[in-house]
Structures are given as structure tokens and as C-alpha cells.
Amino acid sequence: MESYSIPISFNFAPGDGSYENTERFAFWASPNTMQWFKTRGYILYQRSLDESGDSSFPSIPSKVEFAEAEYPYACYDTETVELPETPVPLRAWDMTGKVGYAQDSLGRHVAIKIVPKETDEYRILQFLNQQKLETLKENCVVPVLELLPNEDFWFAVMPRWAAYIDNPEPQYLHEIVTMIHSLLKGMNYLHEHNIVHGDINEGNFLVNHISDMHWRCTKRSRLRAKKSLLYALFDFDLSIMAPPNIDKKDFRLPAYKSWGSFNVSNDTAAGEHDYNPFILDVGSMGVYLCQNYQHMTDLLPILAPLLDMMTCWDLRRRFTASEALQFLEDRMAEISEADLASKIVLTKPRDPYKKYNECDRWENLSPEFVERWQAYRETPLPWHIPLLRRVCKTQLGTLIVLRTRAFVFKFTSLPRRLHRWLVPAKIAL
């Protein structure tokens, strides 16, 4: 194998999803890059620019119309979206330019991501690469097949799966339960190993079926209905690998690290000076599940207490990842196979504009069910939290509230810190 490296000179700031990535796209299309990967057993996809934007497609055409999944590799079909030009099967898109697609020596489809050295993302991918495939399959995390060194970067090779796991719309209740169960298992596995995902959203969940058909894929509907699909978490660009000896309940980060698109559950929207990223992960997952399924609680009542406890404003009450998973698994045992196999007939439409904290998920549930799970129901917000959140909608308001809360916290914790200094903990010898 040739030992030369290929230069990577473009910016790689974590979370950089800018769309001005001509230099990155050129990197993947470069003959030097293609040859480098070819000597390591991977044939990069060919790049294309058509009406749908910048994409790439397999260099080795498929000889079959449908290929069964062989874990960790996805199943795929060669149906295509109808376009004016000749359709191309199995196209792939990545607007960031951080990921390229390829086929291995057996024609299996993989995704290859550029990862800077000495980052938490690399350490997480290295950890996953060391795990058994059966473990990652059971715990719903996309495996890392290989890590290829290249100067100050690594190329992480993973099986190519597809995003937007609930497209097309699920048809049966068991499909929704399976997807939620898989996502909670994946989050719990990461948290068990002190990994904070940090960017939980629908684009970072994958299904092991790839196709050029994104929104009208009848094959995926049939595969999902037959319980033939797997779901998993991926993308650790913004993830944190916490120290092995930390207590996850007390682990804190400065509040500014949650700002932007990550604080969807409002954990730091009222001027909090720090936050727990493990709890924020749970809140983010809860908000995603609310956006997709909170209108279905009359069909699947267990969602009401589950979603309330994953998104509740009182972070001391909020489920941990393990508690959310355990709650769901306990309730799943109470649902009959006949109910799970029932077809989804909505009694109310999904409202994409109704936020997680504006929906009454207990509406139309039986009095007996509500009474049984009353302790899990979200409680009203204290008056001061909405007030602080309104103040913090401005930059100046955020600064004032943040500094005030930080000062009060330090002042009120002074006696406790003084006591620890004057009366040190006893050490058993």
C-alpha cells in the first residue's frame, strides 16, 4: 500500500455546516484522493451536478434491483426519482463536504468522514471502532468499520445508511414504537459510556435502507411494516467524551456551549450559567419525539408520560437516558401484539408549528390512565421562568440575567465551600 498522504487544507470547525464548500467537493473529486482510497480498497463515488444540486453516485453500478441488508451494510434498491435527465440510482448528498461515499472491494456502500485528530469526535469513533458489531447493532449506534490515518486527520469509514427515518410516514403503531425504542437505546448506550451526543435532531438518525427515492419510497414502507429495518444514532461532530470518573448527574458545562440550535428544550433559556449536557440530550430527544408523535398520544397513550418526563422544565425530575429507556420497555410489555399491529388512523393532524411545551398530550386519555400516571405529568412553569426567558431574548438581557444568577449561585454556595475547606473529608486508610 502506498504510504503517501493527501493534503487537507480547508477549515474543519466542529458543526460547520456551511454550503460554500467548493474546495471540499473538489477534494473528493480529485484524482489523487480517488487513487489514495483505491489503494486502500475503496472506490469513491463519482460526483455530479444536476437539477437537485451537488451529489455523487456509485462508480460500480448495481447488478440487482434490490439487495438485502447484511449487517452492518444497508439494504438498497435502485428505484429513482423522476427527473428530466436520465435518472441515476443510489445518489448521495452531503452539503458540508465533510463526507464522501464509496464502495468497498465487494461493492458494499460506505460513508467516509474526515475527522481531525485529537478531538472528542475522533476518540468516540475510535471507541466505537473497538466495539463488537453485535454490541452496536443491539444498542442502535452506527458502527465504525475502519479508521484510516492521514497526517492531522483520520478518515472514519462507516456503512452508508440513510437519514430521515420516518419518511415515508409510518403505517402501523409497532413502527413508531420500534423507532422510539431504537433511538432511546442508542442515546442510553452513549450515555452509559460517558458520551454526550450534543446534536440530537432528525438528521442524525439513520435507517439501514438506501435509495434514490427519499419521500415516496414504497419499498421502505413495506420493509418497515415487516420489521425488517434497523435504526441508529450517528454523527459525533459536536459530541463530548466526558472523563470516565465523572458523575453524570453533576456534570456541568458553561451555558454558552448550549446556545444556538441545540437548546431546543430551553434548559438555558432563562439565563442559567451552566447546564448538564446529558440532561440536555434527553430534552433534545424528547423535543424531537414530540414534534413527530405528540399528536398520537390517544393512539399510543404511553407517549404522554414518556414525553412529559423527557422534556419537563424541572431538570431534577427529567428522565435520564436510562430511565426513559426503562420506562418505555416496561410499558411496551403492557401493549398487546394486536394493538401494536393496528394501522395508524389519526384522530387529529400533526401540527408542525405546535411546540412541545404548548401541547396537551393528555387530552382525550382515559381518566384511569391519567390517574395512574399523574405523577409523570408536566407541572406548570413558575411565574419567574417565563419572565426570565422573555428578558433573555435580547443579548443585553441574557448578559444581565446570566451574571446575576452566577453571582447568586457563588454567593449562596460559599458556606458549603467554606465548610469543605475547614472540615476536609476523612480518608479511610
Say which residue, 223 or 423, is predicted with more confidence.
223
C-alpha–C-alpha distance, residues 244 and 428, integer Å:
23
pTM across the whole model: 0.91
Q: Cell 443579548 belongs to which residue?
A: 395
Q: Is the pLDDT of residue 353 over 70?
A: yes
Question: What are 289's three cell numbers?
Answer: 419525539
Q: Is the pLDDT of residue 113 over 80?
A: yes
C-alpha–C-alpha distance, residues 399 and 355, integer Å:
26
pLDDT digits (tens, 9 = 90+) for 265-274: 999 888 888 9
Query: Across residues 88-98, what is the average pLDDT?
Result: 85
Q: Is the pLDDT of residue 252 over 50?
A: yes
Pair 322, 188: CB distance under 8 Å? yes
C-alpha–C-alpha distance, residues 7 and 25, integer Å:
14
Q: How many Cβ atoms sit within 10 Å of the Cβ of residue 275?
A: 21
Say which residue, 191 or 396, is predicted with more confidence.
191
* Burial state string for 248-264 with b = 16 or more CB within 10 A and e = fewer than 16: beebebebebbeeebbb
Say which residue, 228 or 424, is predicted with more confidence.
228
Q: Is the pLDDT of residue 104 over 70?
A: yes
Question: What are 349's three cell numbers?
Answer: 393532524
| Predicted local distance difference test score (pLDDT) of residue 20 | 64
| Predicted local distance difference test score (pLDDT) of residue 428 | 39
- 22-26, 330-334, 341-345: segment of lowest average pLDDT: 22-26
pLDDT digits (tens, 9 = 90+) for 144-162: 999 999 989 999 999 999 9
| Predicted local distance difference test score (pLDDT) of residue 427 | 41
Say which residue, 41 or 18, is predicted with more confidence.
41
pLDDT digits (tens, 9 = 90+) for 194-236: 999 999 999 999 999 999 876 678 899 999 999 999 999 999 9
| Predicted local distance difference test score (pLDDT) of residue 399 | 83
Query: Across residues 47-68, what is the average pLDDT?
Result: 82
